Structure 1
Amino acid sequence: MNAAVRIIDWPASEDDDLALALWDAYAIAAATGGVPSAHFQCSGVEIDSRDVQPGDLFFALKGEAMDGHRFLDAAFEKGAVAAVVDRPIDRPHILVDDTTAALGALGAAARRRSRARIVGVTGSVGKTGVKEAIFAALERSSRGGAHRSVKSYNNHVGVPLSLARMPARARFGIFEMGMNHAGEIAALTVQVRPHVAVITTIAPAHIEMLGSEEAIADAKAEIFAGLRPGGTAVIPADSSHYPRLRAAAEAAGADVVAFGTAAHADVRLLDAVAAPHGGSLVTAEMGDRRVCYTVAAPGEHWIANSLAVMAAVRAVGGDLGAAGLALAEMEGLRGRGARLHVATSDGGQALVIDESYNANPASMRATLASLGAVAAPRRIAVLGAMKELGKHGPAYHAALIEPLLAAHVDHVVLVGDEMTALADELGKAGGNALHNAPAFTHCANAQAARAALEAIGLKDGDAVLVKGSNSVGLGAVVAALAGEQG
């Protein structure tokens, strides 16, 4: 058979009638109710002029303190082909009444046209990592046919933006949904309309706004309300809130798949041992089959995360082998567990565990346990304040002394006023010969934390954990250690 015959006999696909461009002017106008100034096609959608790539459509969003129309020139200079605006401009554009509403409408249009199997992910801890792992698994098995929300685009702007970026030809879509108030996930899940909804875990993140872990569980369970008919809810079997989550999922008509170590788990951990070069070798039961795979990311929390990934991949008809390979290759994300090796003044290298993006009591305990598992002559922890804990904050911060002592940390740098409660506990422990408490410094901000680390002086073989809520700014500490800024 010659090449021409092979091309003629190429099997037809249901995607053959779909456009190659992400959007064209007429489709955008139809979706948003806007008026196009000219015909154009775009390959991407962007809301930040600094991130515009050639071929993008730029949405000039208006907020309380910022107006995207001020950055139109910058967007076009970087290669935007057109913009969505609420006033006429002398460049290709779609004129609408409200640019934020238009973005939501375009996201809704992308969801309506999509034939993809959709996964929604939420949870108090681990949702971004689990979202990325599910994407990596489905991207591998579909040979580039998966789409996901990037970064942590999980709010009322990030979700419609991520939907608007989903190609019509995508076979899978994975979207993260976050919240800090009740009702927020309910609004997001009706946009995403997932076939599979994953809750990673329930922990006291945002408890200041919600008041209790039970209320947090209820807020996360809002994700089930958007499930497509016959959809699947993937929930943590080991959570104390499992009955509450299961009841909410069943009330929404979902098939429930539980993951964890409990006897009632549908995806159940049988065994996990340390891998030779870090991470874990995992064996899990999945009802009709047993799977064995490697998880590159270290820590017991990633073992649990991997079970959620396997459950979600199977629920959308993905390849479990590809999921195993993706987990074996996926190491920590920047700000969420990435491990960097940085030069030390004595000519050696120190390990830096970058957990600088976020922190709550559960994730603090998990990452301190990971630090404790690292073989190192000295373990150093830079711990920033945990935000949005409200009246519970002092108790949760003080309680971190337990995992700190268990991890045999040698030096602690505490950052932020909220860490006063932990500093008090460390001061008490330091006077008790039985505790072998670490030396500690309490700093006001990230800049002072950098100075404290310089005073400690990193040495060859040291292991340094940097973790705190994003607003504390400890990412700058990691960047300085990595030599990325002065």
Structure 2
Amino acid sequence: MTEVLWTAKEWAQAVGGTLVDATGEHLSDQDAIAVHASNVNFDSRAIEVGDIFLALKGARDGHDFVAGAYKAGAAFCVTERAIDGAVCCVVDDVQTALEAAAVYARDRAIGCKRGAVTGSVGKTSVTQMVMATLKRAGRAHSAIKSFNNHIGVPLTLVRMPRETERAVFEVGMNHADEITPLSKFVAPDAVIITTVGAVHTENFPDGELGIVKAKAEIFDGLQPGGLAILNADNKWFDDLKARAEAIDAKVASFGESVGADALLTGYDVISDPDGDYARIQAEIHGQSYDFKLYTTGKHQAVNAMSVLLMAQALRVDLKVAIAALEDFRPLAGRGSVRHVTVDGKDITVIDESYNANPISMTATIESLGARSVSADQRKIVVLTDMLELGPDEAALHAGLLGVIEAQAIDKVYCAGPLMTNLWQIVPPALQGGYAPTASELIAPLKADLQSGDVVMIKGSNGSKAGLIAASLV
């Protein structure tokens, strides 16, 4: 039997809406209780039987799709006016109703421990790793993908069953004042700021300091006495620590810096036919641990330290959390390692194609440089444009040359107009190939591959780095 997430009556009570049937008549309490929903959705194309459909207004007005959503099996629709032929919960504003239902869903899950994750890079991977640990300990909840904005965070809350014991939420932003309301919706017991750097700087006149302030908004919803988990290796650690302590939050640190509460003390990449992995040594509150992590970027090993602190804060036994991390596999485009054969050539593909900015680019190139390879193997980076970097975008792309040369990379391939800023200064001996678009780079890259090559692919979603990764794996 499908689990009942909401009845129409409970939803209407949560949002202060009026229930009407398909003819526009008021729905009786008895009928409202009988209308059961098992999920909530705002995309009419994804509606399944038993969903609540939210008629949100965006690029298109969701009200135009109410009839189709109800016909597809929606239990009822949340609208700002009655729609003929559909059972509706009529509200003044659908977005506001979603937010009210989110707070209601949060509060009805009595005793649920909640965590929130933000940061300039690594939010989704860390959130998914935290979720892996929570699932080992009981009834857990998180978003099925990167739902981290003004719609995604409350949507994740309204999808949370009342019996949930632990939950984790990803929280993102492009501008100031976006994280505060999301943090207040979640009201977390613990938060992670993965790191802070030059991402979305085009929206912040005061540059990185503006981003620091925006990320620190995650503290605004933190429960009294809650825990702020901060990156001790980040240059803004002291600033963030002071901001957390100013609201009487507890602080725990992670990273490679001496004195960190969760300290990464060892990291080695092990090649394995079933999937490369990292062997991790760590000290958590002074206690030593040794475990595997099936994602080989060193930055992910550092992130794993924050995950263990979050797991502890949400009352997950540390041994249980470590066992969960050993079973965790990265999502597509976030560091998965595959040994594949391309046109008869056996190569290793490191797929980091999900997204990119200068921080994550540097981290992944450094991780490639740290891999041990034989003398006849080449380390190759395939890079597409980093987007949303503001007026410094040309310099930030060109600035990648320093880390490339420092890591003894053998070949560089670039695609996209912004990557010309890097390509034009790459020494001829390192130049593999350039193309205006990601799709146009695939053929020359494949033609140049040699058996034994280790190929790392990185770029922003909008610049289609994923097309290159997909063509190889």
TM-score normalised by length of structure 1: 0.87
1:476 paired residue number? 467
1:258-277 aligned within 5 A = 258-275=253-270, 277=272
Q: C-alpha separation between the residues in 1 aligned to 2:160 and 2:303?
A: 25
Q: C-alpha separation between the residues in 1 aligned to 2:71 and 2:430?
A: 53
1:450 paired residue number? 442
1:14-413 aligned within 5 A = 21-37=4-20, 38=27, 39=32, 40-63=35-58, 65-89=59-83, 90-115=85-110, 116-142=112-138, 145-210=139-204, 211-275=206-270, 277=272, 278-287=276-285, 289-346=287-344, 348-372=345-369, 373=371, 375=373, 377-413=377-413
Cα deviations by residue, 1:132-160 (Å, 9 ceiling, x for unpaired): 01100010121xx0101231110111111
Q: C-alpha separation between the residues in 1 aligned to 2:135 and 2:92?
A: 37
Distance 1:461 1:81, change over 3 A: farther
Could you say what secondary structure the match of 1:140 adopts? helix
Q: What amino acid is aligned across from residue 295 of structure 1 in structure 2? A: L
1:16 paired residue number? none
Cα deviations by residue, 1:111-133 (Å, 9 ceiling, x for unpaired): 22222100010011111111001
Moved over 4 A (4+): none
Could you say what secondary structure the match of 1:45 adopts? strand
The answer (yes or no) to whether the contact 1:332–1:339 under 8 Å persists in 2 is no
The answer (yes or no) to whether the contact 1:138–1:319 under 8 Å persists in 2 is no
The answer (yes or no) to whether the contact 2:457–2:469 under 8 Å persists in 1 is yes
Q: C-alpha separation between the residues in 1 aligned to 2:80 and 2:349?
A: 46
Cα deviations by residue, 1:384-435 (Å, 9 ceiling, x for unpaired): 1112222222222112112223444443331222112211211xx22xxxxx
Question: 5+ residue gaps in structure 2?
Answer: 21-26
Q: C-alpha separation between the residues in 1 aligned to 2:378 and 2:3?
A: 54
Cα deviations by residue, 1:287-344 (Å, 9 ceiling, x for unpaired): 3633332222102101111110011111111121121112112222112112344441
Question: 5+ residue gaps in structure 1?
Answer: 1-18, 431-436
Distance 1:379 1:288, change over 3 A: closer
Q: CA deviation at 1:480?
A: 3.2
Of residues 462, 470, 474, the one that matches 2:453 is 462
Could you say what secondary structure the match of 1:166 adopts? coil
Cα deviations by residue, 1:7-66 (Å, 9 ceiling, x for unpaired): xxxxxxxxxxxx952111011101112112352111111111233333211112111x21
Distance 1:102 1:452, change over 3 A: farther
TM-score normalised by length of structure 2: 0.90
Distance 1:263 1:412, change over 3 A: closer
Q: What amino acid is aligned across from residue 305 of structure 1 in structure 2? A: N
Root mean square deviation, CA, Å: 2.1
**Number of aligned pairs?**
451
Distance 1:336 1:374, change over 3 A: farther
The answer (yes or no) to whether the contact 1:382–1:449 under 8 Å persists in 2 is no
Could you say what secondary structure the match of 1:417 adopts? coil
The answer (yes or no) to whether the contact 1:279–1:299 under 8 Å persists in 2 is no
Q: What amino acid is aligned across from residue 86 of structure 1 in structure 2? A: E
